[in-house]
Amino acid sequence: MARLSFTKMADQIPTEADAYEYLEKLRWPSGTPTCPHCGHKGANFIRPRNGDHTTRTTSRGAQTARRLWQCKGCRYQFSAMTGTIFHGSKISLRTWLFVLFEMCASKNGMAAREIERKYGVAPKTAWFMAHRIREAMKRDAPGSLIGTIVADETWVGGEPKYRHRRPGEVARRGSGTDKTPVVALIDAGTGEARSAVLPNVDSTTLRKAMLQADVDIDHSVLWTDEAAYYTHLGRRFLAHETVNHSEYEYVNDRGATTNLAEGYFAQFKRSLDGTHHHVSREHLPRYLTEFDFRYTTSAMSDERRMARLVGQAEGRRLSYKRVKG
């Protein structure tokens, strides 16, 4: 995988004006800006009037490095930020790009506290930035998962509720703990992951999660372990292959395995423990979105992944109110 190191990226954007040019290249790789208002391809650059043509003065008299374009079709003025998750933010675009890069490229993601410390932004701002980026990570195309689908579930987060247990009793999964069940659905062909939080684990909730993830049940093959709740569900698929984990079987004799899902969960749990420490059930879906995005794009170069995220950022503005729910 081609790795764009953080240092290399930081070297490419020493100033705020460079950050705008960098974003333009990511958003409009052909070099032709697209009008966010009417969709027309082609715009004139509005040259700033200062000496070296890098900054302009806003209506409030402040200096800004914002690069402006005017649509050749409708005359609308816009920048590469218009209509993206960065739109209207008081955070510098350089900072946004650095945080975006780190959330895209680091395996474990980036905690809000880390953003706060590294970039000197307020805690609330850091938290909001991370969530805005996660919003852009939501899958943008509604296409189906079709082919070979690996499904597996796990329990994450929370602490066992000792008060409900007798001394010496071993912590169980599910009832008696405040852990949350999560299902991962992975397309073994494309490597795309779609995961979801479940209210509880049974064949009904699993089927619902598959429908919401647009799994094309009628035209796909399902690979799972031998858990009973997949038996009935498996009959709706073209075929259902199971792996017998209790017999230490990890690949069955027809080549089916749930290794992909186990790898997904191992990385997800490492990140929750190492980076985020504790994630409430309420926010868990957003972290899963982030993980699905990184997992699905893991074969891409860091630059392509960023370009994809910035592309998806269009029209994904998220108000603080909505995040807080």
Nearest in space to 147 (alpha carbons), one of 214, 51, 70, 205? 214
Contact 7/95 with Cβ under 8 angstroms? no
38 binds Zn ion, rule: CB under 5 A: yes
* The only residue of 21, 25, 28, 40 in contact with Zn ion, by rule CB under 5 A: 40
| C-beta closer to Zn ion: residue 73 or 285 | 73
Cβ closest to Zn ion, residue 74 vs residue 238: 74
- Stretch near Zn ion under the rule CB under 5 A, chosen from 34-42, 132-140, 157-165, 253-261: 34-42
Q: How far is the CB of 81 from Zn ion (least distance, A)?
A: 16
Is there binding between residue 299 and Zn ion (CB under 5 A)?
Answer: no
* Min dist. Cβ of residue 93 to Zn ion (A): 22
- Residue 44 CB, nearest distance to Zn ion (Å)? 11
Q: Which two tokens stand for residue 85?
A: 């998750």
The three state secondary structure string of the chain is CCCCCHHHHHHHCCCHHHHHHHHHHHHCCCCCCECCCCCCECEEEECCCCCCCCCEECCCCCEECCCEEEECCCCCEECCCCCCCCCCCCCCHHHHHHHHHHHHHCCCCCCHHHHHHHHCCCHHHHHHHHHHHHHHHCCCCCCCECCEEEEEEEEECCCECHHHCCCCCCCCCCCCECCEEEEEEEECCCCCEEEEECCCCCHHHHHHHHHHCCECHHHCEEEEECCCHHHHHHCCCCEEEEECHHHCCCECCCCCECHHHHHHHHHHHHHHHHHHCCCCCCCHHHHHHHHHHHHHCCCCCHHHHHHHHHHHHCCCCCCHHHHHC
Q: Which of 74, 239, 266, 299 binds Zn ion (CB under 5 A)?
A: 74
Minimum gap (Å) between residue 28 Cβ and Zn ion: 14
Q: Which of 25, 37, 138, 208 binds Zn ion (CB under 5 A)?
A: 37
Q: Is 76 in the site for Zn ion (CB under 5 A)?
A: yes
Cβ within 8 Å of residue 133, ≥6 positions away:
85, 99, 100, 103, 290, 309
- Residue 70: CB minimum distance to Zn ion, A: 9
Residue 113 binds Zn ion (CB under 5 A) = no
> Does 165 participate in binding Zn ion (rule CB under 5 A)?
no
Per-residue string for binding with Zn ion, 259-298, x by CB under 5 A? ----------------------------------------
Q: Which stretch binds Zn ion (CB under 5 A): 37-45, 214-222, 264-272, 304-312?
A: 37-45
Shortest spacing between CB 22 and Zn ion, in angstroms: 23
Q: Do residues 144 and 211 make contact, with C-beta atoms less than 8 angstroms apart?
A: no
Amino acid at 188: A
* Residue 175 CA, distance from chain mean position: 29
Q: Does the footprint of Zn ion cover residue 71 (CB under 5 A)?
A: yes
Closest to Zn ion by CB, 69 or 295: 69
Binding flag, residue 28, Zn ion (CB under 5 A): no
Considering only the stretches 8-16, 72-80, 133-141, 289-297, report the one whose residues sit in contact with Zn ion under the rule CB under 5 A. 72-80
User: With binding defined as CB under 5 A, does residue 311 bind Zn ion?
Assistant: no
73 is an interface residue for Zn ion by CB under 5 A: yes
| 35 binding Zn ion? (CB under 5 A) | yes
Stretch that binds Zn ion, among 71-79, 196-204, 244-252, 306-314 (CB under 5 A): 71-79
Binding status of residue 46 toward Zn ion by CB under 5 A: no
Give the interface with Zn ion as residue ranges (CB under 5 A). Answer: 35, 37-38, 40, 71, 73-74, 76
